[in-house]
Structure 1
Amino acid sequence: MRDFALAPRTISRSSGGLADSVFERAELDPTLPVLARRPEGSSGAWQEVTAVELRDEVVDLAKGLVASGISPGHRVAIMARTRYEWTVLSYALWTVGAEVVPIYPTASREQVEWILHDAGCVAVVVEDEQAVMTVGSVCASLPRLRHVWQLDADALDDLRERGRVIPLATVESLRRIVLPDSTAVVAYTSGTTGRPLGCALSHRGLASPVDILLEGWRHITAAPGEQPSVLAFLPFSHVYGLMIQGVCIRGGLLMAHEPDLDEEALAAALQSFRPTYFYAVPSVFEKIYKNFLRAAQQSGRGALFERAADTARDFALACERQRLGEGPGPGFDLRLQHALYERTVYRRLRAALGGRARRATSGGSTLNRELSLFYEGIGVYVHDGYGLTETCGGITMQPLGREKSGTVGRPLPGVDLRVADDGEILVRGPSVFQGYVNDEAASRAALYGGWLATGDLGRLDADGYLTITGRKKDIIVTTSGKSVAPAALEHRLRMHPLIHQAVVVGDNRPCVGALLTLDPVFLAHWRGVLVAQQDPSVREAREENALREEIARAVAAANSTVSRSESIRVFRVLPEPFDLANGLLTPSMKLRRDEIVRRYAMEIDAMYQARSAGARRTPEEDLLNWDDSDNVFR
């Protein structure tokens, strides 16, 4: 094994609970805007909420919770999108020592029932009537559940009114007995296989990475003299969203909420709020890039965009080599070309993020190196970090001035990180979770000698930068005995604008294959361009052939990054995407691989049979005869 830890070691400044930061900020800087909200149903101007106003809202709501019988240690579920009330409610619950149990609002009836039962929740907060009906349908199996509060039915106003009889001293006394090692959140894993497990996360654990990031990186979140601002749109039901909320509240960043995840709503919110710092998951960065490309092609500037994108990546690569001491930096011609595109292209691209963001963070899964270099080249460096629910969020980050794209950075101060002989990443530090609720066996399996076995595979380079290579359980073993990590191939496939999703398969098969879905928006654009260039009488056949050839080129480009034995030899394009509605994505947008393989077993069989028809061969002989990618479309 090889160890690496980043010095100096630091300890979270937390001496109480997470709610203390709301009260401390109100005392130190009462007029500082900390939240921004819009009137319900409005897309107009944002209204700022000061630190003292937030504290007063939290106190009033905390009183209502006490009046409703919520006590320290009680678990209350929040089943809502990323909205203003989520933040106020979570800090009110932490004020009285209660534990928050986040539930994705898109969770199924079975998932809701399991989480509420397993966590022993005494109350649940939902958004609308439909969610009330979902909870109501499982109440019979939840003897501990006493309250169902509906946000859209003025439940919080009712709680505030009920709490008028509770003295402030009661709330203050409850807040002061919350200890750093008390459980703050029970966050359930996405459940890609089997039932989700509840991770017990302490106040100290959640505060630790937040405080370290604020200490070392807060100054990059805005221009000097400007208050940093963040638009929160990813689910607070995921630890990544919770960490961003913590960074904003503890660090005094102005935070706004956008509950709708569709492109139009997010784009409008970015334009109106204009955050100084942007955060997202890789699929969002991929989608934004494809939208840039599509818009350029539709305006007849596709070739200009591609040249500008190539220049951006070349410029970022030269800058990276310079800061790592491996090169002199961009030459005169490259600087001149980059400056030209800055005036004509890059500044317009940054405007899509509101125009003020110069840095961003990607999390949830790894970001493609080429995409990272592109964003750096246009003037928005994306810090790719690594973390998981069991570590309360981030445990690595790019060191300032020594950033290296394609990696997830180096361990945060105070975090020990080790890569085992089989490539599994092991972590030890103050943010590691307390264990899985009601499952001691799973806790013992994950925590050994103080080390958390993450289930992720990775490698450390000579300078201590971590590269994620995949998930241990996702490794594919072909019939020839070749082990293949699918993540790199899938990342490269998704870089093609036509490809929306990719799942690499091949367990106990003669070679590696792939299931692909297409981006419907870009496909429509691609078809439109093709139609304009063809004779209508032969359009349909030529269009199908052209699409096959284009996808085959995307597969060949992905194959160029791996060895021949790891390359994709067969693929199939599916007619519909993997999404929440069909149960093939987790709420945190991760692929349910086992379910996808089960659901499309017939298609996978047909994909391989189409190329293996003929004489019997040994597995080795069979592999040697898979020379070209299969372009079978369903």
Structure 2
Amino acid sequence: MREYHTPAVAAASGLSSMADPVYRNAIEHPSAVAFAPSDGPGRVTATEFADRVTAVGKGLIAAGIRAGDRVGLLSATRYEWTVCDYALWSIGAVSVPVYDTASVEQVAWILRDSGAGWCLVGGADEARVVETATRTIGGPPPVVLRLDGGALDRLAERAADVDDEAFAQRRKVPPESVATIIYTSGTTGPAKGVAITHDNFLSNLDGFLDRLGPVFAPGGAIVLFLPLAHIFTRTMQCAAVLRQVRVTHLPRTAELAAGLAAVRPTVLPLVPRYMEKLRDAAPGGDAVAALGGRCGAIVVGGAPHDEQLGHFYRSAGIAVYEGYGLTEVAGPATINGPDASRPGSVGRPLPGVSVRIAADGEVLVRGDCVFGGYHRNPAATAGALVDGWLHTGDIGVLDDDGFLSITGRKKDLVITAGGKNVDVTTLESRLRAHPLISQAVVVGDRRPFVSCLVALDPAVLRERNRADGPLDRDPVLRAEIQAAVTEANRAVSRPESIRAFRILDGELTVSGGELTASLKIRRETVNARYREEIDAMYRPDS
């Protein structure tokens, strides 16, 4: 059993509520631009943001929102999302973020389990999803307010009904109170509500910014386009607000390239898939130009990335800081930083965080940032938190200097019929690095050898103008995928190598149920849906 602890630092933020940075910025940097669109007018100063948060917060009080009330937040990434988040925190209410790609069934479960009586939605589509979902819940439906329909303006108009003293009292939010309930997009079973307190959030942010302080320098700029419902993007938002880094929201990923060129961010949060997309679209292979021209750092989260992908950006002078986190830790638990970075690892524990490797290789985490339990689910809480240690379900190793490397997940191990344990994440990560491959799912549990299902990137396929017909029977495509498989197999032993593959005719998608909202593979769903294709790879005549 190996353990590494990074000593805590004095709380740099000096805050007790997640809404406090908004008001401190308005006092100390009133005219600083806090938010800006990717083009045109509409910049928001720190003072204007604080005024808007206050007006919406007062409006929510006037509408009947009490401290501790849960409020759903279902919208694409946008400025209004952030206003709502901070307005709810300012009055001690609890935000319950929901992915705008969530299915009716998922929305119904989250609203029912959280007990949300209100739901702020982006527009008509999300409103319809909530309306349909509430029919399955029973009881009174939540009050639905549309962000694109002037809901925030109408709430702000009610601000006069709440005096400043009453609002000031509501702003005195105990740090141990719950700030948000985030439902994990689990790969099996219903999502669990992770209850994160203001103290959890602030503890994590203190450690994160102690490690990455120079990256989030005041006056910098950041572009947020990944879902704010995910803890990774939420952490980036809160760190930017805390450090006066100008935020630009991009609701549609199709606008990413143009948005980066217009905003020219200094720091950019990315998941590996978008690192790949931006690399593949880089003009003349110019990584600097692909990120807008002045980006000095990428913060990587969500999933492990291929080291060659990181090298592409580092070789252009762009730092790549990969970390490891969970919703249950209110953000990252470990991360590389300017003062200590080891490519291939996910960094050292944040200040105040301990990481232990259990006897079976599982990564355990302890610290003030670790949540206190799942909402209304004591059984799941008891399974996740043992003697103060969070059992992550991930497998990893710690080196002598405290750098953590994640090698897989307990449930992502394939055990072949010959008894060989195969960590599928290494193979899948290498395959996804190929520009033609969108997703790869390694299979072979209780089978004689390892095989793989491959989904191709539809955008790349369209550029090729290939003839119609099953993708798996296209000799050119099969040859290219075989080359990618051969290259991926170089990372593993022969018993672990992929011996057969099938190219799927369709994508693996969130809406189709094969991927979680954070783009993790739902293996049970994929295995069941493509059982025939999997079986075919093991027939003697295949």
Match of 1:231 in 2: 223
- For 1:521 and 1:116, the matched residues in 2 are separated by 35
- For 2:524 and 2:309, the matched residues in 1 are separated by 28
Give the aligned partner of residue 173 of structure 1.
169
Which secondary structure state, in structure 1, belongs to the residue aligned with residue 474 of structure 2? helix
**Aligned mates of 1:33, 1:215 — CA distance in 2:** 23
CA 1:16–1:402: 2 relative to 1, 3 Å:
closer
1:261 partnered with 2:253: yes
Deviations 1:217-256 (A, max 9, x none): 222346xxx7111011111111111101110111111111
Deviation at 1:35, TM superposition (A): 1.2
Q: Is the 8 A contact 2:15 2:202 kept in 1?
A: no
Residues 1:561 and 2:491 aligned together: yes
Residues 411-560 of structure 1 aligned to structure 2 (within 5 Å): 411-525=349-463, 544-560=474-490
Residue 583 of structure 1: how far off its partner (Å): 1.6
Residue by residue over 1:551-586, the C-alpha shift from the partner in whole angstroms, topping out at 9 and shown as x without a partner, is 111111111110011000111100111012312111
C-alpha separation in 1, matches of 2:14 and 2:200: 9
C-alpha displacement of 1:441: 0.5
Q: Which residue of 1 aligns with 2:21?
A: 21
Letter in 1 for 2:402: G
Give the counterpart of 1:249 among 236, 241, 246. 241
* Correspondence for 1:274: 264
Is 2:156 the partner of 1:160?
A: yes
Gaps of 5+ in 2: none
**1:339-384 deviation line (CA, Å, top 9, x unaligned):** xxxxxx64xx311211010111010011111111121001212101
RMSD: 2.1
Matches within 5 A, 1:30-429: 30-37=30-37, 44-140=39-135, 141-143=137-139, 145-176=141-172, 178-221=173-216, 227-262=219-254, 265-292=255-282, 296=284, 346=286, 349-429=287-367
Change (3 A) 1:172 1:78: same
Preserved CA contact (<8 Å) 2:95 2:181:
yes
| CA positional deviation for 1:156 | 1.0
Q: Distance in 2 between matches of 1:238 and 1:401?
A: 27
Task: Report what 1:3 is aligned to.
Answer: 3
Check the 8 A contact 2:272/2:303 in 1, yes or no.
Answer: yes
* Identity between Structure 1 and Structure 2 (%): 42
Partner of 1:620: none
The number of aligned residues is 540
Q: How far apart are the structure 2 equivalents of 1:396 and 1:414? A: 11
**d(CA) in 1 for partners of 2:404, 2:211:** 19
- Residues 23-75 of structure 1: per-residue CA shift (max 9 Å, x gap): 1111111111111136xxxxx32532111111110111111101110010000
CA contact (8 A) 2:321 2:337 kept: no
Contact 1:221-1:359 within 8 A present in 2 as well: no
Q: Give the TM-score, by structure 1 length.
A: 0.82
Within 2, Cα distance between the matches of 1:142 and 1:201?
A: 27
**Cα displacement (A) at 1:525:** 4.2
CA distance in 1, matches of 2:14, 2:102: 33
1:515/1:572 contact within 8 Å kept: yes
TM-score (norm 2): 0.95
Work out the CA distance in 2 between the residues paired with 1:95 and 1:79.
19
Q: Equivalents in 2 of 1:216, 1:495: separation in Å?
A: 28
Q: Distance in 1 between matches of 2:41 and 2:304?
A: 33
> 1:449 and 1:393 mapped to 2: Cα distance?
21
Deviation at 1:12, TM superposition (A): 6.2
Q: Deviations over 1:168-201 (max 9, x none)?
A: 111111001x111110000000021110000000
Q: Secondary structure at the match of 2:166?
A: helix
Q: Secondary structure at the match of 2:139?
A: coil
Q: CA offsets per residue over residues 254-290 of structure 1, 9 Å max, x none?
A: 111111122xx11111111111111110111012222
Distance 1:130 1:231 in 2: 25
Greater CA radius of gyration, 1 or 2?
Answer: 1
The offset of 1:465, in angstroms, is: 1.1
How far is 1:212 from its partner?
2.2
Name the counterpart of 1:334: none
> For the Cα contact (< 8 Å) 2:268–2:297, is it kept in 1?
yes
1:121, 1:144 within 8 Å by CA — same for their partners in 2?
A: no
CA contact (8 A) 2:442 2:452 kept: yes
More helix by share: 1
Paired residue type of 2:269: Y
* Residue 529 of structure 2, aligned match among 589, 594, 599: 599
Separation of aligned partners in 1, 2:8 and 2:117:
42
Bigger mean CA offset, 194-203 vs 547-556:
547-556
SS at match of 2:346: coil
